[in-house]
Amino acid sequence: MTDQGGPAAGRRPRAALTLAALGVVYGDIGTSPLYSLQTVFSIDHGEVRPTSGDVYGVISLVFWTITLIVSVKYVTFILRADNDGEGGVMALAALVRRVLGDVRGRAAVAMALGVFGASLFYGDSVITPAISVMSAVEGLKVSTPGLSHVVVPVAATILAALFVVQRWGTHRVGSLFGPVMLVWFAALAAAGLAEVLQRPGVVRALSPTYAGAFLVDRPFTAFVALGAVVLVITGAEALYADMGHFGKGPIRRAWFAVVFPALTLNYLGQGALILDDPHNTESPFFLLFPHWARLPMVVLATAATVIASQAVISGAFSVSRQAVRLGFLPYLRIRHTSPREAGQVYLPAVNWILFVGVLILMLGFRSSGRLATAYGLAVTGTFLITTALSLVVARVAWRWAAWKLVLAGVVLGGAEAAYFSANLTKVTHGGWLPLLIGVAVFTIMKTWERGREIVTDRRTAKEGPLPEFIEKLHHDGVQRVPGTAVFPHPTKMTTPLALRANYEHNHVVHEHVVIVSMISENAPYVPADEQLAIDDLGYRDDGILHVTVRHGFQDRQDLPAALRRAARLPDAELRFDPDRASYFLSRVTLRSTHPDGMPRWRKRLFLALARNAANPAEYFGLPAARTVVMGSQVDI
Which residues sit opposite 513 in a β-bridge?
485, 544
- Average model confidence (pLDDT) for the chain? 84
Does the pLDDT of residue 6 top 50, yes or no? Answer: no
Does the pLDDT of residue 86 top 80, yes or no? Answer: no
| Torsion of Cα atoms, 199 then 201 then 205 then 206, to 10° | 100
* CB-based contact 323:520 (threshold 8 Å): no
Q: Report how far residue 17's alpha carbon sits from residue 246's, in angstroms, rounded to the nearest whole number.
A: 6
* CB-based contact 260:106 (threshold 8 Å): no
Does the pLDDT of residue 375 top 80, yes or no? Answer: no
pLDDT at 365: 82
Residues ≥6 apart with Cβ < 8 Å to 164: none
* CB-based contact 545:513 (threshold 8 Å): yes
Q: How confident is the model at residue 1 (pLDDT cuts 50, 70, 90)?
A: very low
For the chain, percent of residues with pLDDT exceeding 90: 28
Q: How would you label 155-178 residue by residue, b for 16+ Cβ within 10 Å and e otherwise?
A: bbebbeebbeebeebbeeebeebb
Q: Which residue did the predictor score with more confidence, 167 or 445?
A: 445
pLDDT at 4: 38
Other C-beta atoms lying within 10 Å of the C-beta of residue 296 = 12
Q: How confident is the model at residue 7 (pLDDT cuts 50, 70, 90)?
A: very low
pLDDT at 8: 44
pLDDT at 2: 36
* CB-based contact 115:88 (threshold 8 Å): no
pLDDT at 9: 45
Give the C-alpha distances (Å, rounded to integers) separating 13 from 3, 51, 246: 9, 48, 11
Q: Which residue did the predictor score with more confidence, 153 or 314?
A: 153
Q: How confident is the model at residue 44 (pLDDT cuts 50, 70, 90)?
A: low
pLDDT digits (tens, 9 = 90+) for 241-258: 777 767 788 899 999 999
Of residues 434, 385, 433, the one with CA closest to residue 120: 434
Q: Report how far residue 543's alpha carbon sits from residue 536's, in angstroms, rounded to the nearest whole number.
A: 8
pLDDT at 144: 73
As separate numbers, helices (DSSP H) first and strands (DSSP E) second, the chain gives 27, 8
Instruction: List the single range of 50-59, 163-172, 307-316, 364-373 with lowest mean pLDDT.
Output: 163-172
Instruction: List the single range of 350-364, 393-407, 575-589 with lowest mean pLDDT.
Output: 575-589
What's this model's pTM, rounded to 2 decimal places?
A: 0.80
Q: CA angle, 117 as apex, 350 and 171 as ends, to 5°?
A: 45
Q: Which residue did the predictor score with more confidence, 396 or 634?
A: 396
DSSP 173-185: THHHHHHHHHHHH
Q: How confident is the model at residue 321 (pLDDT cuts 50, 70, 90)?
A: confident
Q: How confident is the model at residue 3 (pLDDT cuts 50, 70, 90)?
A: very low
pLDDT at 104: 60
CATH class of 14-317+356-430: mainly alpha
Does the pLDDT of residue 5 top 50, yes or no? Answer: no
Does the pLDDT of residue 10 top 60, yes or no? Answer: no
| Average of per-residue pLDDT across 265-278 | 94
Q: Which helix (H) or strand (E) holds 84?
A: none
pLDDT at 125: 83
* CB-based contact 496:584 (threshold 8 Å): yes
| Domain boundaries, given as residue ranges, for the chain | 14-317+356-430, 463-635
pLDDT digits (tens, 9 = 90+) for 97-150: 888 876 567 778 888 888 998 898 888 888 888 888 888 888 877 767 777 778
pLDDT at 571: 65
Give the C-alpha distances (Å, rounded to integers) separating 468 from 240, 462, 479, 547: 48, 13, 18, 19
3-state class percentages of the chain: helix first, strand second, coil last, to nearest 5: 65, 10, 25
Does the pLDDT of residue 328 top 60, yes or no? Answer: yes
Q: Report how far residue 15's alpha carbon sits from residue 246's, in angstroms, rounded to the nearest whole number.
A: 11
pLDDT digits (tens, 9 = 90+) for 595-629: 677 888 898 899 888 888 877 888 788 888 888 88
pLDDT at 172: 55
| Average of per-residue pLDDT across 187-196 | 96
pLDDT at 170: 58
Q: Which residue did the predictor score with more confidence, 376 or 293?
A: 293
Long-range contacts of range 216-219, CB-CB < 8 Å, 24 or more positions apart? 217/53, 218/54, 218/57
Q: Report how far residue 367's alpha carbon sits from residue 413's, in angstroms, rounded to the nearest whole number.
A: 32
Other C-beta atoms lying within 10 Å of the C-beta of residue 291 = 10
Q: Which residue did the predictor score with more confidence, 524 or 118?
A: 118
